Amino acid sequence: MNCSSGLSKENQKLAKTNVVAEEKLIADDLIVQAREATDEDLLVVHTRRYLNKLKWSFVVAAITEIPPVAFLPNFVVQRKVLKPLRTQTGGTIMAGKLAVDRGWAINVGGGFHHCSSDKGGGFCAYADITLAIKFLFERVQGVSRATIIDLDAHQGNGHERDFMDDPRVYIMDAYNRYIYPGDGFAKRAIKRKVELEWGTEDSEYLQKVHTHVEGALNEFKPDIVVYNAGTDILDGDPLGGLAISPQGIVKRDEVVFRAARSRGVPVLMVTSGGYQKRTARIIADSILNLHSLGLLGRDRPACALGSPSLQHTVTDSAKDFSNLSLQ
């Protein structure tokens, strides 16, 4: 993920949700509304010093790469810029619990993989991936090992810095080797590094994803997979520099879900970067494909998302979000 999009991140999130809902894949009352992450939640990972820095508009302008933000009063920045990001961060934390409970969860937002505990960048002000994993380790019984599969076009240097010396977390990262952030120090945390060339196309890309996802999950047995499913790999993306087709993105997501679900490992997916208007449609198509293949369900070959029983269980899991706090 990197910044500078014609659509705001919150509008992109709404677009993704609306497209999925319009397909009647998920009923309105089945879409769980994320809760905004509180300061206490954020302090599980972030330093107080870093959170205090976000009270300065010029700092937020640098992180979001939107210079005019520097001239706005900070109360406006908090409400219009940071609150939506905190809500998406809360959604990722919540989706982690849902994934463990039900086998999978997708946050149509989040994936702020350039932010670490004490530094933001690339539009990433909060370290939602790190937070979700730390919450699970601390508060959910039976979760003590996690694999991050980061397939955004950009290197996920934030979570890599956070988990640099943590043997409980295995990181696979596939990214365009020539673009932001080029963080050599953070690369030391990557257990399976896949550096891609400019203009990489479907055939080569999907072969590498399949080989390395299977290899990662064979090499390290996690209790959860956190999948950063950026769509900035799409051909024509102004920042990603790769040339993957919409069909290639749908197939990529299928490869990851099939590999994890065949091993009985829950999947938390976040949608991360993607800077074209057709991104929302592609994400919806991918979710529809996962559903049609029976990869969105638990203890059954296929999952009827509108069924009363599933609605009841997802709603119950959503209510458990308040119990994730480390207070």
User: Catalytic positions, please?
Assistant: 114
CA–CA distance, 313 with 135 (Å, rounded to integer): 21
- Of the chain, the end-to-end C-alpha distance in Å amounts to 31
Q: Which of 81, 114, 93 is nearest to 37 (CA)?
A: 93
H or E element: which one contains 257?
helix 246-262
Residues 93 and 270: their CA atoms lie apart, in Å, by 11
CA separation for the pair 322, 308 (Å, rounded): 23
What CA–CA distances, in Å, run from 37 to 44, 116, 163? 11, 16, 21
b/e per residue 129-162 (b: at least 16 CB within 10 A): bbbbbbbbbebbeebebbbbbbbbbbbbbbbbbb
